[in-house]
């Protein structure tokens, strides 16, 4: 079964993006570069991952983790609270949507009644919860996580539709909510500067807010797919967000934690904070490079470098897995970057044109997932039990990335959206 590829982090309960100043610059033009040889990094010691067996155990874990009055949700939990709730409504919608995406990613969904039943309950929860005041367009205060619910809710609804897995009595409602979420995402983009961020210290509509690459990349991918599905997506919203990603790219090859303001250059190495340095950036570079590549602003050399960075700094990410705290020195790495990084590195691997390299990198990814698996067969990069649904779903997505269809490329208005070129998407279809 095919579902549309999706996502990414739900995570993050992070501090406000950095605000830097530098002269105006023009984003680099798209260019083609010859693929280069990957650097060989050691694979973590772990038993070979039996994907079929492990997937069955992960599915069982996800089903057992569904909770709520109607056993209809997978609420994500972090350190952020709203009205004393350990799982704000944006995290509930986002966590449930990601769990559904994980369940859909494993082959055999159409014949698996147990998965279909829990997915339907989760879908009904998301549709109902998108109606509550905390999920409407207007963000509140300095910190607001509803945007994660918007991004992942849209990705999930579109994936269900692409998979022809929407219950007949919900088709009309799902279509309407898809359209509404597209409108909400476009309306909630940072004015002028572009992109998205859950932290807006200068006010919801201030153009002086900075975009978060962690949030901007998945939001863009959700809108790329929305355009392919026939929804209206303004070119300006996409262009400004892509410009923000371009500006966030640091000269050493990573990505700043927050995109510099519109009038600023790409980040110089001397300007990097602990949260911008390459080890921290290793979890978000692949997400950004894939997104820019889909929009005609990237190249394979940059993308391959991002995959290299993920493997090279896996230990830096892993040492913070399931630990307390958020942005801990020396690199400002937080626990919730860990599985997000696996998903996007896996997505980037599928764009590597050389089949032999691609398969070798898939093997490395499976080894890392095997090493980071919990004793009960789930995955969790936080200390909170309620983040296990998110973690397990993200691991399934990374594991099954080779057979998930690619996100479509972005094309301006007047041109039809199209799937990624076969040379970039080899191994995607089963």
Q: What's the burial of 168, exposed, middle or buried (CB within 10 Å: 0-12/13-18/19+)?
A: exposed
Q: Residue 17 above 60 pLDDT?
A: no
Mean pLDDT of the 162-175 span: 96
All residues at 6 or more sequence positions from 70 whose CB lies less than 8 Å from its CB, including other chains: 121, 125
Q: Rounded to two decimals, what is the model's pTM?
A: 0.85
42 or 428, greater pLDDT:
42
Closest CA to 389 of 119, 203, 45, 43: 119
C-beta atoms surrounding 417 within 10 Å:
18
Find all residues with CB under 8 Å of 52, minimum gap 6, and list them: none
Mean pLDDT of the chain: 82
Q: How far is CA 348 from CA 7, 300, 351, in A?
A: 12, 10, 5
Split at pLDDT 50, 70, 90, the class of 32 is: very low
Asked which of 23-37, 212-226, 277-291, 362-376 is least confident by mean pLDDT, the reply is: 23-37
Poorest-confidence range of 40-49, 128-137, 420-429?
Answer: 420-429
Q: What is the pLDDT of residues 282-334, one digit of tens each?
A: 999 999 999 999 999 999 999 999 999 999 999 999 888 888 878 887 787 87
- pLDDT above 90 covers a percentage of the chain that reads 54
Cα–Cα distance measured from residue 340 to residue 348, given in angstroms and rounded to the nearest whole number: 13
**Cα separation, 161 vs 165, whole angstroms:** 6
pLDDT of res. 266 = 63
How many C-beta atoms lie closer than 10 Å to residue 335's C-beta?
A: 26
Task: Identify the pLDDT of residue 209.
Answer: 83
Q: What is the pLDDT of residue 35?
A: 36
The least confident of 51-60, 189-198, 323-332, 396-405 is 323-332
User: What is the dihedral angle through the alpha carbons of 51, 323, 336, 250, rounded to the nearest 10 degrees?
Assistant: -110
Structure tokens, 180 = 């509404």
**pLDDT(408) > 60:** yes
pLDDT cut 70: percent of the chain above it: 79
Looking at residue 11, its pLDDT comes to 38
Of residues 137 and 39, more confidently modeled: 137
Map out the domains of the chain with their CATH numbers.
Answer: 51-403 (1.50.10.20)
Q: What's the confidence (pLDDT) of residue 10? A: 40
Distance between CA atoms of 324 and 319, rounded to whole angstroms? 11
Nearest to 9 by CA among 393, 422, 407: 393
Q: Which of 34-38, 344-348, 381-385, 413-417 has the highest mean pLDDT?
A: 344-348
Q: Work out the average pLDDT over 350-356.
A: 95
CA distance 412 to 45: 46
What is the secondary structure of 357-418 as a DSSP string?
A: HHHHHHHHHHHHHHHT--TTS---SSS-GGGHHHHHHHHHHHHTGGGSPPPBPP--TTS---
pLDDT at 202 over 90: no
CA distances (Å), origin 318, targets 56, 216, 280, 307: 25, 24, 11, 16
pLDDT higher at 6 or 58 = 58
- Specify which of 59-73, 373-387, 416-430 reaches the highest per-range mean pLDDT: 59-73
**pLDDT for position 430:** 25
Q: What is the pLDDT averaged over residues 190-219?
A: 86
Least confidently predicted of 115-119, 204-208, 342-346: 204-208
Mean pLDDT value of segment 182-203: 88
């Amino acid at each position: 079964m095919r579902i549309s590829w999706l996502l990414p982090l739900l995570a993050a309960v992070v501090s406000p993006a950095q605000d830097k100043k530098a002269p105006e610059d023009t984003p680099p033009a798209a260019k083609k570069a010859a693929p280069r040889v990957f650097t060989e990094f050691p694979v973590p010691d772990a038993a070979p991952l039996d994907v079929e067996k492990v997937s069955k155990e992960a599915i069982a874990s996800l089903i057992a983790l569904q909770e709520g009055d109607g056993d209809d949700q997978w609420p994500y939990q972090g350190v952020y609270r709203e009205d004393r709730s350990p799982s704000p409504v944006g995290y509930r919608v986002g966590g449930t949507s990601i769990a559904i995406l994980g369940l859909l990613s494993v082959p055999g969904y159409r014949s698996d009644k147990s998965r279909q039943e829990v997915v339907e309950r989760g879908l009904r929860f998301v549709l109902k919860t998108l109606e509550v005041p905390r999920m409407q367009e207007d963000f509140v205060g300095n910190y607001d996580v509803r945007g994660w619910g918007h991004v992942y809710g849209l990705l999930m609804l579109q994936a269900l539709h692409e998979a022809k897995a929407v219950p007949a009595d919900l088709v009309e409602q799902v279509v309407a909510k898809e359209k509404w979420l597209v409108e909400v995402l476009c309306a909630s983009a940072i004015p002028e500067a572009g992109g998205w961020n859950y932290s807006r210290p200068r006010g919801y509509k201030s153009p002086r807010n900075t975009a978060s690459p962690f949030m901007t990349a998945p939001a863009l991918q959700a809108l790329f797919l929305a355009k392919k599905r026939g929804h209206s997506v303004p070119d300006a919203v996409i262009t400004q967000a892509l410009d923000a990603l371009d500006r966030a790219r640091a000269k050493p090859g990573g990505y700043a934690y927050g995109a510099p303001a519109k009038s600023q250059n790409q980040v110089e190495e001397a300007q990097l904070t602990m949260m911008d340095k390459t080890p921290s950036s290793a979890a978000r570079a692949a997400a950004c490079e894939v997104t820019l590549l889909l929009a005609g602003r990237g190249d394979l050399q940059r993308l391959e470098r991002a995959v290299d960075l993920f493997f090279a700094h896996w230990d830096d990410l892993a040492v913070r897995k399931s630990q307390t705290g958020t942005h801990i020195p020396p690199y400002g790495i937080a626990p919730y970057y860990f599985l997000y990084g696996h998903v996007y590195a896996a997505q980037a691997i599928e764009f590597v044109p050389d089949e032999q390299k691609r398969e070798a990198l898939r093997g490395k990814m499976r080894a890392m997932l095997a090493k980071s698996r919990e004793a009960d067969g789930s995955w969790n990069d936080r200390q909170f039990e309620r983040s296990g649904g998110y973690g397990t779903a993200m691991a399934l997505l990374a594991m099954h990335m080779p057979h998930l269809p690619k996100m479509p490329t972005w094309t301006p208005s007047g041109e039809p959206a199209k799937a990624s070129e076969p040379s970039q998407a080899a191994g995607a279809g089963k």
